[in-house]
């Protein structure tokens, strides 16, 4: 969980630029739930890594303030300009890249900001971006239709079953978007995502 200084700083930036804080909070909730449910199964990231994920999830859409077109790139630019308190320069780069890759193309070596990272930082950035990218898809309608999720990993088939709890019977918009945005998560964690509903 973000400490007081970091959280205040992140929320200050959010309030300054964000247009839909409900969506940001939902993406944060889903990304952190997925992170926590897969810890010790698909990854062994630290609490510090979790903080970076939380910050990236909260700020992923602030680029809409500038323009809807390319808002993911705008988000990254704003984060780097604002430099939220409590984070090192490298951590701010990671948070900016998490926001950058929540949609659009996956990280590539010809992307300047990503290419400047060290190899271990690139690997961490790809994986943390995958959580936010997937969580964002699960709130594609911005209606918080997914109230909770759980995960079951089948080591033999390498299937990761995502059990979704919904507050409406139809979330086809979210599932269709998640099908198209699960690619980075599947690549980074070596799994195949399958959906189940409760």
Q: What confidence tier does 83 reach under pLDDT thresholds 50, 70, 90?
A: very high
Give residue 161's pLDDT: 97
What tokens were used for 90?
A: 């490298």
Compute how many other C-beta atoms are within 10 angstroms of the C-beta atom of residue 19: 12
Burial of residue 89 (CB within 10 Å: 0-12, 13-18, 19+) is exposed
Q: What SS3 state is found at 140?
A: coil
The fold of 4-139 is Hypothetical protein af1432 (1.10.3210)
Give residue 182's pLDDT: 95
**What number of H helices and E strands is found in the chain?**
9, 3
Cα–Cα distance, 195 to 176 (Å, whole number): 11
Nearest to 59 by CA among 33, 89, 92, 36: 92
pLDDT digits (tens, 9 = 90+) for 146-184: 999 999 999 999 999 999 999 887 788 899 999 999 999
What is the pLDDT averaged over residues 71-95? Answer: 95
Cα–Cα distance, 181 to 174 (Å, whole number): 10
Q: What SS3 state is found at 43?
A: strand
Task: Identify the bridge partners of residue 159 per DSSP, sorted by sequence position.
Answer: 154, 192
Residue 89, C-beta contacts closer than 8 angstroms, at least 6 positions apart: none
Compute how many other C-beta atoms are within 10 angstroms of the C-beta atom of residue 116: 11
Compute how many other C-beta atoms are within 10 angstroms of the C-beta atom of residue 187: 13
Give residue 160's pLDDT: 97
Residue 150, C-beta contacts closer than 8 angstroms, at least 6 positions apart: 37, 162, 163, 165, 198
Q: What SS3 state is found at 75?
A: helix
Query: Of the segments 57-71, 74-88, 111-125, which one has the largest average pLDDT value?
Result: 74-88
Q: What confidence tier does 34 reach under pLDDT thresholds 50, 70, 90?
A: very high
Cα–Cα distance, 127 to 181 (Å, whole number): 13
Residue with token string 């969580």 = 135
How far separated are the first and last CA of the chain, in Å rounded? Answer: 28
Query: pTM for this one?
Result: 0.94
């Amino acid at each position: 969980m973000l400490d007081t200084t970091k959280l205040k700083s992140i929320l200050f930036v959010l309030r300054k630029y964000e247009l839909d804080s409900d969506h940001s909070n939902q993406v944060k909730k889903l990304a952190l739930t997925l992170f926590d449910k897969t810890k010790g199964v698909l990854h062994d990231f630290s609490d510090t890594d979790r903080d970076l994920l939380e910050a990236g999830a909260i700020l992923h859409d602030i680029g809409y303030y500038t323009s809807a077109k390319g808002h993911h790139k705008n988000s990254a630019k704003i984060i780097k300009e604002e430099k939220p308190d409590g984070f090192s320069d490298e951590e701010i780069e990671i948070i900016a890249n998490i926001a950058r890759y929540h949609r659009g193309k996956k990280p590539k070596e010809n992307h300047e900001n990503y290419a400047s990272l060290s190899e271990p930082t690139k690997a961490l950035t790809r994986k943390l971006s995958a959580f936010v990218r997937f969580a964002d898809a699960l709130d594609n309608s911005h209606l918080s239709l997914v109230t909770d999720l759980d995960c079951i990993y089948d080591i033999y088939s390498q299937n990761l079953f995502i059990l979704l709890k919904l507050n409406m019977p139809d979330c086809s918009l979210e599932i269709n978007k998640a099908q198209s945005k699960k690619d980075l998560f599947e690549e980074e964690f070596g799994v195949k995502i399958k959906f189940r509903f409760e």
